[in-house]
């Protein structure tokens, strides 16, 4: 992409309404535009990051055996009357009437709808287990939408739903998602710690929130310090290996980690004082096991192996896809701007031509741009005729992990500069060596 053609409305000034760094940087980098309170339009750069995150989430869901579907945003109220949540959900639910005066709503989550779909088709234990997920916009009329996309009213969520015949199998479904989440966040370069959590309006007996530690987080959390240094990447996992998956979950639940609602002061104080972490955190994922809470009222039953009728056991598993865009920036930035982890960066390499119009600079920059593109590095070429200083500041602000800086002075001695955005480290290399460095 050529910067001269790109719709990337960066701002010099910091917008007054943005209270936290991720919101400020998203506005300054022209990633989103607020269209009403807590509702955002995604501009090209923001949308590219959102799609990269979504794709990682998708791949890890698929790998764990979940299957993607797409349910609508608008749901009939009657479904929610069956589960009893139509009244319980309160003002957070956006209620709508259609032209026939039927009660509809903009879905804040999809437990009822997926249970109804499941029930319509699955009649036998032979069709179990199943885990179905979608990545779809949700609406929750939050009292205080704030912090940009971190607490929006309309937001993108991945939500998965598991269906099983008995507790051991349902617990394995929960464990698989637990491990898939560890992998998902690790791939994004994030350290998300699973913590015991309250189940809120979703309900159930077992629940973990995946939390990234950040001063600006809205949750108060408590955990053992060792979790902060735990390695999440780990070995490839066989999701059918029940004991193997269980072992990973056990490792990640062996130490104390809880959110405010589940905090147990006595248990926490048993940890040596220097190992106690009390911090703020951002909830990026939340998983629930709730048994028959929805399958019972909605009548999702199958014939069991002995001909008996069994109400299926369920869990649900959410990831805040759009919240992650802000969360990633909270976790990775400096005074100059955003620092994208490679896996979610909107473009792979920024090519900065310091002197547009200079024959040699244009030739070398254009050539690097073309070759980086051919190598699949998704380059962003700043080919605008602007001051060098402001182009460099802009490139730092948008935070691509690598920059190649092409200027007349360097070219005189046959070199360009390759800069690592995170470390700030710069290397002078010939254009060919730079290309090798960035495509290796």
Q: In a 10 Å sphere around its CB, with 0-12 CB exposed, 13-18 middle and 19+ buried, how is residue 111 labelled?
A: buried
Find out whether 154 and 39 touch, Cβ atoms under 8 Å.
yes
- The site partner of 155 among ligand ATP, Mg ion, none (C-beta below 5 to 8 Å per kind) is ligand ATP
- As a whole number of angstroms, the distance between CA 53 and CA 70 comes to 18
- The site partner of 151 among ligand ATP, Mg ion, none (C-beta below 5 to 8 Å per kind) is ligand ATP
State the nearest-atom distance from the C-beta of 68 to ligand ATP, in Å.
17
- Residue 387 Cα distances to 145, 396, 405, 411, 416, angstroms: 38, 15, 13, 18, 18
Is the backbone peptide bond immediately before 26 cis, with ω within 30 degrees of 0? no
By CB under 5 A, which span of 238-246, 280-288, 309-317, 409-417 interacts with Mg ion? 280-288
Find out whether 128 and 163 touch, Cβ atoms under 8 Å.
yes
- Between 152 and 348, name the residue whose CB sits nearer to ligand ATP: 152
Q: SS3 for 310?
A: strand
Q: How many CA atoms lie within 13 A of 260 on its CB side?
A: 10
Name residue, tokens 């609602």: 261
Query: Under the criterion CB under 5 A, does residue 153 sit at the interface with Mg ion?
Result: no
- Between 127 and 198, name the residue whose CB sits nearer to ligand ATP: 198
Q: How many CA atoms lie within 13 A of 361 on its CB side?
A: 22
Q: Which of 286, 289, 293, 333 binds Mg ion (CB under 5 A)?
A: 286
- Between 21 and 435, name the residue whose CB sits nearer to ligand ATP: 21
- Between 87 and 229, name the residue whose CB sits nearer to ligand ATP: 87
- Between 146 and 247, name the residue whose CB sits nearer to ligand ATP: 146
Residue whose CB is nearest to ligand ATP in the complex, by number: 320
Q: SS3 for 328?
A: helix
- The site partner of 83 among Mg ion, ligand ATP, none (C-beta below 5 to 8 Å per kind) is none
- Would you tell me which residues interact with ligand ATP (CB under 6 A)? 109, 140, 142, 151-152, 155, 157, 200, 202, 283-286, 318, 320, 322-323
Residues lying near Mg ion in the complex (CB under 5 A) are found at 286
């Amino acid at each position: 992409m050529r910067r001269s053609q790109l719709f990337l409305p960066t701002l010099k000034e910091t917008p007054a309404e943005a209270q936290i760094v991720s919101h400020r940087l998203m506005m300054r980098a022209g990633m989103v535009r607020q269209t009403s309170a807590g509702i955002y339009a995604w501009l090209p750069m923001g949308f590219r990051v959102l799609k990269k995150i979504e794709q990682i989430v998708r791949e890890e869901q698929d790998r764990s055996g979940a299957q993607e579907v797409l349910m609508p945003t608008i749901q009939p109220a009657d479904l929610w009357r069956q589960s009893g949540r139509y009244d319980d959900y309160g003002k957070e639910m956006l209620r709508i009437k259609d032209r026939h005066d039927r009660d509809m709503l903009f879905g804040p989550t999809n437990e009822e709808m997926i249970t109804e779909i499941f029930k319509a088709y699955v009649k036998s234990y032979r069709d179990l287990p199943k885990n179905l997920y979608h990545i779809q916009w949700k609406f929750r009329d939050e009292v205080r939408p704030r912090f940009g996309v971190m607490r929006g009213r309309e937001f993108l969520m991945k939500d998965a739903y598991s269906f099983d015949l008995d507790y051991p199998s349902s617990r394995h479904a929960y464990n698989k998602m637990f491990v898939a989440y560890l992998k998902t966040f690790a791939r994004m370069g994030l350290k998300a710690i699973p913590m015991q959590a309250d189940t809120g309006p979703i309900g159930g007996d077992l629940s973990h929130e995946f939390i990234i530690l950040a001063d600006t987080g809205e949750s108060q959390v408590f955990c053992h310090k060792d979790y902060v240094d735990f390695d999440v990447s780990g070995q490839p996992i066989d999701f059918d290996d029940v004991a193997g998956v269980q072992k990973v979950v056990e490792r990640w639940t062996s130490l104390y980690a809880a959110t405010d609602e589940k905090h147990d002061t006595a248990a926490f104080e048993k940890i040596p004082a220097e190992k106690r972490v009390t911090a703020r955190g951002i909830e990026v994922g939340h998983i629930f096991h709730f048994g028959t809470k929805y399958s019972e009222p909605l009548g999702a039953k199958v014939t069991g192996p002995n001909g008996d009728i069994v109400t299926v056991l369920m869990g649900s598993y959410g990831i805040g896809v759009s919240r992650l865009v802000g969360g990633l920036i909270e976790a990775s930035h400096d005074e100059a701007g955003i620092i994208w982890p490679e896996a979610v960066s909107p473009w792979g390499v920024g090519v900065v031509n310091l002197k547009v119009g200079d024959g040699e600079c244009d030739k070398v920059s254009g050539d690097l741009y073309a070759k980086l593109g051919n190598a699949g590095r998704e380059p962003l070429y700043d080919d605008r005729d602007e001051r060098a200083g402001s182009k460099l500041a802009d490139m730092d602000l948008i935070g691509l992990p690598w920059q190649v800086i092409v200027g007349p002075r360097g070219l005189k001695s046959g070199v360009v500069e390759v800069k690592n955005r995170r470390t700030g480290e710069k290397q002078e290399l010939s254009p060919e060596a730079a290309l090798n460095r960035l495509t290796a």
